Amino acid sequence: MTNTDSKSTHLLRVAVFISGNGSNLQAIIDAVTNNQLNIEIVGVISNKADAYGLQRATQAGIPAVALAGKKMHTFEQLASKQLIAWQADMLVLAGFMRVLSAEFIHSFTGIMLNIHPSLLPKYKGLNTHQRVLNAGEYYHGCSVHLVTPALDSGQVLAQGIINVQPNDTADSLAERIHPIEHQLLPLVISLFSRGDIVLSTNSQNHTIANLRNPLQQLPLQLIL
């Protein structure tokens, strides 16, 4: 079998961690169903037993595991075993509200992505929408980035931007940013699955992502 053959037959095996509603998980599921994303979603893990995203996974026939009410160390041990059993190549944090340890992040040898509701590196952490309003920002948005042990600080791969309107509230910002997240996350996953984004290690032994062909035409993001 040639390299190209093996590439075309191996679908990227993607696991997703969630804590709640799972609308970003749904966007990934829908993109797969609509043939916009050629990956296998191998399983979903939630740290909350009542996360609605677990039902979304089950409805789509995807293994769904609740590891609820556990200390983080125990959660990570069980989750690691599950990721190995699923042979996950990629782990997507899609509304996963716990902070993973450096040990866990380093132990996962695949690609780890997070979706965060701000224009990183601004507004890491929680309550991003209210903090953006308090600061009187003109722009807000969401970012997909590589996960590193420092919270919301890994390499940013893609962003969606909105204008903050004078009458915006934290809720209206969340409502306008969510649909952009739902486009952005599947888009970045698809760039990895097609081999258009590749990971390498730099001289400081840090993992970095690059476009395979830097001159390639990528979809441009509109500012809305």
Q: Can you give the binding site for ligand GRF, defined by CB under 6 A?
A: 18, 20-24, 94-95, 115-117, 142, 181
Single-letter amino acid, residue 25:
L
Cα–Cα distance, 41 to 25 (Å, whole number): 10
Q: Least distance in Å: CB of 109 to ligand GRF? A: 24
Helix axes 170-193, 23-33, angle to 10 degrees: 40
Q: Which is nearer to ligand GRF, 70 or 124 (CB)?
A: 124
Looking at the chain, which runs of residues are DSSP E strands? 12-18, 39-46, 64-66, 90-93, 111-116, 139-146, 156-163, 197-201, 207-211
Q: Which is nearer to ligand GRF, 76 or 181 (CB)?
A: 181
Q: Which is nearer to ligand GRF, 17 or 86 (CB)?
A: 17
Tell me phi and psi for residue 73, to 5 degrees: -60, -45
Q: Which is nearer to ligand GRF, 40 or 181 (CB)?
A: 181
Q: Least distance in Å: CB of 48 to ligand GRF? A: 10
Reply yes or no on whether 116 is catalytic.
yes
Tell me phi and psi for residue 127, to 5 degrees: 50, 40
Q: Least distance in Å: CB of 39 to ligand GRF? A: 17
Q: Least distance in Å: CB of 116 to ligand GRF? A: 5
Strands of 111-116's sheet in order across: 64-66, 39-46, 12-18, 90-93, 111-116, 139-146, 156-163
Q: Which residue of this chain has its Cβ atom nearest to ligand GRF in the complex?
A: 95
Cα–Cα distance, 34 to 46 (Å, whole number): 25
Q: Which of 73, 116, 129, 178 is catalytic?
A: 116
Q: CA dihedral in degrees (191, 56, 102, 89; nearest 10)?
A: -40
Q: Least distance in Å: CB of 76 to ligand GRF? A: 19
Q: Which is nearer to ligand GRF, 95 or 186 (CB)?
A: 95
Active site residue ranges: 116
